[in-house]
Amino acid sequence: MNALDVDIRRKVFSSPTLDFVALSQLKFTVPRGQFCCIVGPSGSGKTTFLNIVSGLDGDYEGEVRIAGHAPGTGPRLGYMFQSPRLMPWLTVEKNVALVATHRAIAQGMPRKLLEQVGLVASVDAYPNRLSGGMQRRVALARAFVNEPPLLLLDEPFISLDAPVANKLRDLLLDQWRARGATIVFVTHDLREAIQLGDRVLFMSASPGRVVLDLPVPLDRPREWEGRSIDEFRAQLLTEHPALLAGLEQSRLAEGEAVRAVKAGAA
Amino acid sequence: MRLLTSSPFASYRWVRLSSLVVLLAIWQVAATAMTSETFIADEYARSRNAVYFPSPVVVAEAIWKSATTSSGLTRNVIEVLGFSITTHDLVFNIYQTLYRATVAFVIAMVLGSAIGMALGRVKGLNRFFDGWVLLGLNMPALVVGILSYIWLGLNDTALVVAVVINKIPLVAVTTREGAAAVQPELLHVARAFRLSRWQTLRRVFLPQLYPYFMVAARNGIALIWKIVLVYELLGRSNGVGFMLANSFSTLDVDQLLAYAFSFIGVVMLIESFIVRPLERRATRWRM
């Protein structure tokens, strides 16, 4: 059974003045244990898609199954957001324990994961005492604490220095390997997707759908700043020049799409 | 809303203490001057003893007298958990006032917070009840008190009901602001990780409101004890407000100030030993 089956026919955001089609004919599957990166221009509905999978948004046409279960049912997922989103009034350890199941608590998972991400000295600190990188490590520990079969990450390493981001990527890969989870990693950074993924899905500008499904044939462990990554990326961009154009012109395209729909509605 | 709780200055306490001493000294000098022969030059005023301003020493004596004797104005029996404790004037009347204020405070905080949270979270409710809240905020406390005594009789229930009605709109407005400011991002975390409703409420939703609860509680304490005094003056036969009314009718300035300062002292004790420690606990994570 696949870890994730996606068949979203349409996802529309309705308002009195316009209907905005965020996703359309988005269809793919992710086998168990795969590290699947999704790349797309901003506004292509990546976060919308994650909200549907995580059960935050149930208003869509189509079907999504996580190991055979509808979103919001079945086993709990892990989720890492763009910002750490920790509860500032809870200590680091309590933040992780907050989302842990009884089983995970009984097994001492919160403490174990915090040790693995190198935060054992900060378990009793409040999040606003920590640096941005450390807060994201807490968020990473929180995402893995229930050993979820599927983990969703929404550009979690955005706005970090390269060394800090690379350290976090290492930690993420360590956890992924150790726990055998399936990962759906959303980013708008093609380089990051190639660094991390077994496979990269390219989404179009809105309405988002998969325009290219590409395996990453590079061996692991990969060097973050290594040549092979750059070469693969360069090769990709010569073969599919539209991709880079799509990524770079994303903001423009998004604005145009909204205006076009608006004009149609009027 | 960062608080000056733990001051880094060791001299901070001394500054406060010496400022208090200076205030007492000014009071003593002023009181002596105003009641002296030279100051009351006007023959008529002196004969009427028109200005009587007791010194702190005289007020302290009056406090001691009220604390150790019973004038017979009030029954002076405190009933707690079935026990009857006989006391003197001061303790009994302060106890009565504090008891009424506490009951009213708790009820007003619970109801006001619940209403405020509902208004802050449900737009339709807020639109409908906004006018009511505004009416409540602007209703004179005296009107509520008089109506309550007329309808419910001259008893403690009427007093508490009146205080609660006065206080609820203020608590509701404050918590409404807090509930509206709750971050949807953190609620999304709770939903994405499928926390139970109870966990979401206790660990994610309510902590965002604590600062607002604290503001409501602080303002509540400041307001409630003043309103309780007025309502006691209006329609009760004991409590600090009643004793102040009695001081007025007998022009007993010593007793008036004795009760005023005793009660201020009690309120300040509550502030520093209950309110502030709670506040510190609730905002520990900001430090």
ipTM of the complex: 0.84
pLDDT at B44: 55
Give the nearest chain A residue to B211 (CA atoms).
A89
Higher pLDDT, A151 or B72: A151
Kindly state whether B203 is in contact with chain A, defined as any CB-CB distance less than 8 angstroms. yes
User: Among A67, A56, A48, which residue's Cα sits nearest to residue A8?
Assistant: A48
B142-150: list long-range contacts, CB under 8 Å, 24+ apart: B142/B230, B142/B234, B145/B227, B145/B230, B145/B231, B145/B234, B145/B235, B146/B234, B149/B234, B149/B235
Q: Residue A158 pLDDT more than 90? A: no
Q: Residue A165 pLDDT more than 70? A: yes
pLDDT in tens, B86-143: 888 899 999 999 999 999 999 999 999 999 999 999 999 999 999 999 999 999 999 9
pLDDT class for A257, splitting at 50, 70, 90? Answer: very low
Quick one: A73 exposed, middle or buried, by C-beta within 10 A (0-12, 13-18, 19+)?
Answer: exposed
Q: How many Å lie between the alpha carbon of A99 and the closest alpha carbon of chain B?
A: 6
- Rounded mean pLDDT of A58-73? 91
Higher pLDDT, A208 or B228: B228
- Rounded mean pLDDT of A228-242? 84
Q: Residue A65 pLDDT more than 90? A: yes
pLDDT at A245: 63
pLDDT at A251: 41
CB-nearest partner of B192 from A56, A89, A98: A56
E-only strand ranges, A198-257 = 199-203, 210-215
- Mutation target for B interface from A51, A99, A105, A129: give the one with most B CBs within 10 A: A99
pLDDT < 70: residue spans in chain B: 1-11, 36-51, 287
Number of Cβ pairs < 8 A linking chain A and chain B: 48
pLDDT at A255: 43
